[in-house]
Structure 1
Amino acid sequence: MISTTLFPGRYVQGSGALARLGQEVSRFGKSCFVVCDPFVHDCLLSEFLPEMDKQLKVALEKFTGECSDEEIARLATIAADAQCEVVVGIGGGKSLDTAKALAHQLKKPVAIVPTIASTDAPCSALAVIYTREGAFKRYLLLPKNPDLVLVDSGIVARSPARFVISGMGDALATWFEAESCHKKYAGNMSGDKGSMTAFSLAELCFKTLMEYGEQAVIACAAQAVTPALERIVEANTLLSGLGFESGGLAAAHAIHNGLTVLPGTHQYFHGEKVAIGTLTSLILTDKPAATIERVFSFCERVGLPTTLADIGLAEVTDAALQQVAEAACAEGETIHNEPIPVTAAMVVAALKAADAYGRKRKRA
């Protein structure tokens, strides 16, 4: 049986790494088109643009907020006029996915610069495409991973701790989903079976979260770069990215995708909804009580959602949960990588049970 493991071309992480962006990008071309999110555009340009301008011809455009087909088309027109040799994405997950999709459309190298550690999107050959309104639309599978991923942990430490916490929510799913794919002999994002390396990295991701997660939240809240924060930034970004892409996805991310059909969830971060997907998946797949307890406890300690109310669904109806479950169980969704057959009715039951368990713990 053939296995495939997917990696970015180069991964750079550390406090002050943003100052090296021009040097790193110049290895791929002499001109670049930078897609940056509004925060980067308004607050961080002075920290990297003057140095980049010394080494590259730079064109820059602000990202409008959704990784949608319409936004990608808008940016492609502007980038084509700029005649860039490299695409650079700087900011949060959706702006980075947009840059990856744009580079693919233009057939250019891409450098990815996350300013927060809130998802495992930066390293992957994948862009999640949403509608203009923010509902999940499809996965765009790309032919290659980013040529460069550069993470300045000093910038990450200056962001609200909620971003790092959300990244841990995304990373929390990695080991459980990879393990399900391994048991099912399900394909990873390449379609092939995951490698021993992928599963080992996914397990290391989980162990890192359990050991250093609380310390990292404290450090980030203090805007301090510590060894614990560096480890969690790497777990959220690199380990989770390699683990999900080369290990595979299963129920947690499918349930996340289902949750996006409800507008009440749109103001919550990807990783926050994935955390609910993970907790639901533990009940759905009949994990041992000790595992369920451990993961719920971890979520509580670091500040991840444990109830539907925590992601804007305090008054959710059974009919709405049925919509979530049907979307999660759609043909081709990754929930079918679980080693057990899954139905929409099972997902509704697991969502309600996970929510009830989370509410009971809050009252205790």
Structure 2
Amino acid sequence: MANILISPSKYVQGAGEMKKLGDYAQAYGKKALVLITESGYKRIGATVDGSFQNTETEPVYEYFNKECSKTEINRLVEIMNERGCDVVIGIGGGKILDTAKAVAYYKEVPVLICPTIASTDAPCSALSVIYTDAGVFEEYLFLRANPNMVLMDTEIIAKSPVRLTIAGMGDALATYFEARACQASGAATCAGGKVTSAAIALAKLCFDTLMEEGVKAKLALEAGACTPAVEKIVEANTLLSGIGFESGGLAGAHAIHNGFTVLEECHHMNHGEKVAFGTITQLVLENIPAEELEDIIDWCIELGLPVTLKELGITEVTDEKIMAVATAACAENDTLHNLPFEVTPETVCAAIKAADAYGKYFLGE
């Protein structure tokens, strides 16, 4: 099995970069389908529209219908055909971005991804998650290539709810530990090969950045400030974690996150919040040194990421619930088996209980 690394062709990040979107789009097409929500257009539509003035690319705006579903993708493909669009631009959150990537995939045209939040590492990936019209997960659509461009306007992102950027840090926290596990086990990554040294280096830089800049960025965002720490965290959440998870691989943290989706009381939690607790659980399974575990739990507490089952929304903890989570996490086709040792529902159940106990201990409960 070869070592493989994949990444977006171009990554642009900085305050006010959305004002240059039209200039960037000129390199990819003459008529752009711009997918955005109605509320998103009210917030930043004037900025986006202004960016296309005095350019050779014409924007065709279309409001997103809430779900990344086959119905919505087909609707947008038809609009592309009717209007003669030759490039897709997605502006907003995860489902819009996944839809834009899918439409571009089927039309075989370039796609520009413009997240307005930094809550996950998905924008850079060659993957779209497809749901039914009712919002139920249907399938993964694996794309031929990563986005042609990812544009992060940190001025816009800094105005989004702080909790979303913190959740992005929770998602990014898993990156290095999962990549390290895949390297140790020789597991295949989402890129279709083994981990490269470059992916491991980026994953480690992601972790180091989170530890050094995370709390500073949280405080700055709460003060409404876009500082160098915020810039570094946006890059860690999006680019470093994006390449790190896709070319470094997934292991315990994301599988345990998937396990928690079987409990309805966790559904209100953000993806990255559940991944953070999944990361702590993976580290318990790996039995890392106590000082290292304490540092990571303390970091999560400072940021407000969940370190106990209660903080995940599970107020009545039972053996049956935790075993259900552990069993789902150990599904044959999930990534928990990328760890370099055998895992069972019983060992995962024990690790979840221990992670919860450690969280309570460090919270002083």
TM-score, normalisation: structure 2: 0.93
Please say which of residues 88-97 and 116-125 is displaced more in the overlay: 88-97
**Aligned counterparts, 1:257-336, within 5 A:** 257-336=258-337
Deviation (angstroms), 1:195: 0.8
How many residues align? The count is: 364
Pair 79,193 (structure 1): closer, same or farther in 2 beyond 3 Å: same
1:152: which partner in 2? 153
Please say which of residues 144-153 and 104-113 is displaced more in the overlay: 104-113
CA contact (8 A) 2:195 2:249 kept: yes
2:35: which partner in 1? 35
Please say which of residues 52-61 and 178-187 is displaced more in the overlay: 52-61
2:51: which partner in 1? 51
Deviation (angstroms), 1:52: 2.3
CA contact (8 A) 1:39 1:91 kept: no
Q: Which amino acid aligns with 1:28?
A: Y
Q: Distance in 1 between matches of 2:58 and 2:291?
A: 56
Pair 258,75 (structure 1): closer, same or farther in 2 beyond 3 Å: farther
Q: Distance in 2 between matches of 1:29 and 1:169?
A: 36
Q: Which amino acid aligns with 1:15?
A: A
Q: Deviations over 1:291-345 (max 9, x none)?
A: 2111111100111111222232222543333333233222221111111111222
Deviation (angstroms), 1:108: 1.6
CA contact (8 A) 1:215 1:228 kept: yes
Deviation (angstroms), 1:137: 4.5
1:353: which partner in 2? 354
Q: Distance in 2 between matches of 1:186 and 1:133?
A: 35
Deviation (angstroms), 1:349: 2.1
Pair 67,287 (structure 1): closer, same or farther in 2 beyond 3 Å: farther
Pair 303,22 (structure 1): closer, same or farther in 2 beyond 3 Å: same
Pair 310,82 (structure 1): closer, same or farther in 2 beyond 3 Å: farther
Pair 47,174 (structure 1): closer, same or farther in 2 beyond 3 Å: same
**Aligned counterparts, 1:115-264, within 5 A:** 115-131=116-132, 136-264=137-265
Q: Which amino acid aligns with 1:3?
A: N
CA contact (8 A) 2:9 2:147 kept: yes
Indicate the percent of aligned positions where both proteins have the same amino acid. Answer: 51
Deviation (angstroms), 1:273: 1.3
Pair 72,276 (structure 1): closer, same or farther in 2 beyond 3 Å: farther
Cα RMSD of the aligned pairs, angstroms, is: 1.9
Deviation (angstroms), 1:227: 0.9
Q: Distance in 2 between matches of 1:112 and 1:228?
A: 23
**Aligned counterparts, 1:40-119, within 5 A:** 40-52=40-52, 54-55=54-55, 56-119=57-120
Pair 137,176 (structure 1): closer, same or farther in 2 beyond 3 Å: farther
CA contact (8 A) 1:119 1:167 kept: yes
Q: Distance in 1 between matches of 2:22 and 2:255?
A: 37
Give ranges in structure 1 of 5+ residues lacking alignment.
none
Q: Deviations over 1:243-296 (max 9, x none)?
A: 111111111111112222333323221111111111111112222222211111
Q: Distance in 2 between matches of 1:69 and 1:351?
A: 36
Q: Distance in 1 between matches of 2:274 and 2:75?
A: 29
Pair 188,218 (structure 1): closer, same or farther in 2 beyond 3 Å: same
Pair 132,261 (structure 1): closer, same or farther in 2 beyond 3 Å: farther
1:308 aligned counterpart, secondary structure? coil
Q: Distance in 1 between matches of 2:78 and 2:227?
A: 42
Q: Distance in 1 between matches of 2:61 and 2:349?
A: 45
Q: Distance in 2 between matches of 1:224 and 1:64?
A: 32
Deviation (angstroms), 1:185: 0.6
1:33 aligned counterpart, secondary structure? strand
1:89 aligned counterpart, secondary structure? strand
Q: Distance in 2 between matches of 1:25 and 1:107?
A: 16
Pair 145,90 (structure 1): closer, same or farther in 2 beyond 3 Å: same
CA contact (8 A) 1:136 1:260 kept: no
CA contact (8 A) 1:36 1:60 kept: yes
Deviation (angstroms), 1:66: 3.7
Q: Which amino acid aligns with 1:115?
A: T
Q: Distance in 1 between matches of 2:126 and 2:226?
A: 28
Q: Distance in 1 between matches of 2:167 and 2:283?
A: 19
1:6: which partner in 2? 6
Deviation (angstroms), 1:238: 0.6
Q: Which amino acid aligns with 1:48?
A: V
CA contact (8 A) 1:134 1:266 kept: no
TM-score, normalisation: structure 1: 0.93
CA contact (8 A) 2:120 2:171 kept: yes
Q: Distance in 2 between matches of 1:104 and 1:81?
A: 17
1:287 aligned counterpart, secondary structure? coil
CA contact (8 A) 1:329 1:343 kept: yes
